[in-house]
Structure 1
Amino acid sequence: MNAGLNEMLAKAFAEATELYQQRGFQRRVGFGRKPALVNVDLANAWTRPGNPFTCEHIDDRIIPGVQRLLAACRENGHPVIHVTTCYQVTDRNNPYTDMGLWHNKIPVDVVAQSDENLWAIDSRIAPIEGEQVLIKKRASSFHGTYLAGYLRAAGVDTILVTGVTASACVRTTLCDGLAEGFRTIAVRECIGDRVPGAVEWNLFDIDAKFADVESVDRCVDYLQSVKG
């Protein structure tokens, strides 16, 4: 992100923080007693070069951070859910496509279920035995999926959310997670997007209304302090 945009956002955030705090926003939801890690769309179509969905800062920031979170979860027995997106019917003229009307806004036709490599979780953070791989059809990881029921059955009260994008699938997952009654934590360094400023703006706004934005260091410490 260029210096000019960074300066502009910093000024906007300072002014918005003053307004939010005057009106009672930016409260904390806090960590609970039983966490789970939810990685959103960290699959090849989003993490590898050359796809319309490819996001920034995958190699230098997001993957290393998620690797740390995964290690802490696996060491301490915390549930891990890897979420990805793909579609069985990618013909936009087919009225029965599982894309619904979303294809009218974004190129979801480039993640065909028939090409598993596209929607497979990035091998650097690949699932191990016992970890869930959940396929969604909409932006939110909760919409039309079994995620909420799975988490409740496991006794989870806190979800740590990583992935892409800050402006869409991560954001809606956090919003729906809070609506479903979970403590929502957005892991700052492990969330990305394609557009400059999108991560910074969305995390600022999410932290004011829908989740606590916490560093990967603090999240790892938390995962190490509680047992699964």
Structure 2
Amino acid sequence: MHPNAALILVDVQPDFMPGGALACHEGDAIVPGIDRLLRRGLFRQSVATQDWHPRGHVSFASVHEGYRPFQQIELYGHPQTLWPDHCVQGTPGAALHPGIDWSPVDLILRKGNRPDVDSYSAFHENHGPDDQRPSTGLAGWLRARGVSEIYAVGLAREVCVLWTVQDALMAGFRAHLVWDLTRPVTPQSDETTRATLERLGVAIVESAALC
């Protein structure tokens, strides 16, 4: 058991699976393991994030004339990757993955639901200086429930999962990334992701070691 820890399940949604609008490499491979982990009840709290974009969201390449998916623009002083339209509110691709029993989850946090703001992290919106980005309220919610550390799983490893553990550290939580229960958009990013996690002091763990 991890009595002071929360499990953060990041964006485990069909649009990030093979065949989805923004498929992660082998994204569907993590679904059975996440389902088993959630059912074990090892954590004080469990939180699922859900990308929940309105149509015409600012992060969609389709709303920027002359741009294609995966190109970058500057937005609010930060580099912004432009994505294929994905996780549009109310569509099947935006649902929490049906292969997981979500009933043990204590909180479902929808993010990216403002048309003009992207939200990778479970803790903060993307815009503004790093130490002033608007909060989602998750840090306060966790502290009020006695949580002092987080374990992150989900998609995508080098984007929303990485941002979530980075922001968890900034908020004063100990942070762990469960490597085998995450997948990247592209595996070519893994070396850089590991180096970033090690530099920050995020623990990289495997689900088999959790007990």
Please, what TM-score do these two structures have when normalized by structure 1? 0.69
Counterpart check, 1:111 vs 2:87: yes
> Which secondary structure state, in structure 2, belongs to the residue aligned with residue 203 of structure 1?
helix
Residue in structure 2 matched with residue 136 of structure 1 by the alignment: 111
Which is strand-richer, 1 or 2? 2
How many percent of aligned residue pairs carry the same amino acid?
Answer: 25
**Where do residues 1-228 of structure 1 align in structure 2 (5 Å cutoff)?**
33-51=3-21, 53-60=22-29, 62-73=30-41, 76=42, 78-90=44-56, 101=75, 105-107=81-83, 109-115=85-91, 117-128=92-103, 131-137=106-112, 138-143=119-124, 144-219=135-210, 221=211
Q: 1: distance between equivalents of 2:153 and 2:139?
A: 17
Task: Give, as a single letter, the amino acid of the residue that structure 2 aligns with 1:215.
Answer: E
Task: Give, as a single letter, the amino acid of the residue that structure 2 aligns with 1:34.
Answer: N
**Which 10-residue stretch deviates more, 192-201 or 118-127?**
192-201
Q: Does the 8 A contact of 1:161 with 1:185 survive in 2?
A: yes
Q: Does the 8 A contact of 2:123 with 2:164 survive in 1?
A: yes
Task: Give, as a single letter, the amino acid of the residue that structure 2 aligns with 1:84.
Answer: Q
Deviation at 1:88, TM superposition (A): 2.5
Please, what TM-score do these two structures have when normalized by structure 2? 0.74
1:64-107 Cα offsets, whole Å, 9 max, x none, are 2212220222xx5631111011222516569xxxxx94996322
Which is helix-richer, 1 or 2? 1
Deviation at 1:177, TM superposition (A): 0.2
C-alpha change, 1:88 and 1:59, in structure 2 (3 Å) is closer
Q: Any unmatched runs of 5+ in structure 1?
A: 1-30, 95-99, 222-228
Q: Any unmatched runs of 5+ in structure 2?
A: 65-73, 113-118, 125-134
Rg (Cα) greater in structure: 1
Q: Does the 8 A contact of 2:35 with 2:100 survive in 1?
A: yes
Count of aligned pairs between the two proteins: 180
Task: Give, as a single letter, the amino acid of the residue that structure 1 aligns with 2:87.
Answer: V
C-alpha change, 1:77 and 1:208, in structure 2 (3 Å) is closer
C-alpha change, 1:197 and 1:105, in structure 2 (3 Å) is closer
Q: Does the 8 A contact of 1:161 with 1:187 survive in 2?
A: yes
Larger RCO, structure (CA 8 Å, separation 6 or more): 1
Q: Does the 8 A contact of 2:24 with 2:185 survive in 1?
A: yes
Post-superposition, which runs of at least 4 consecutive aligned residues in structure 1 deviate over 3 A? 91-94, 100-104
> Which secondary structure state, in structure 2, belongs to the residue aligned with residue 134 of structure 1?
strand
Q: 2: distance between equivalents of 1:152 and 1:193?
A: 29
C-alpha change, 1:77 and 1:165, in structure 2 (3 Å) is closer
Q: 2: distance between equivalents of 1:37 and 1:206?
A: 18
Q: 1: distance between equivalents of 2:105 and 2:182?
A: 24
Q: 1: distance between equivalents of 2:84 and 2:75?
A: 10
Q: Does the 8 A contact of 1:193 with 1:199 survive in 2?
A: yes
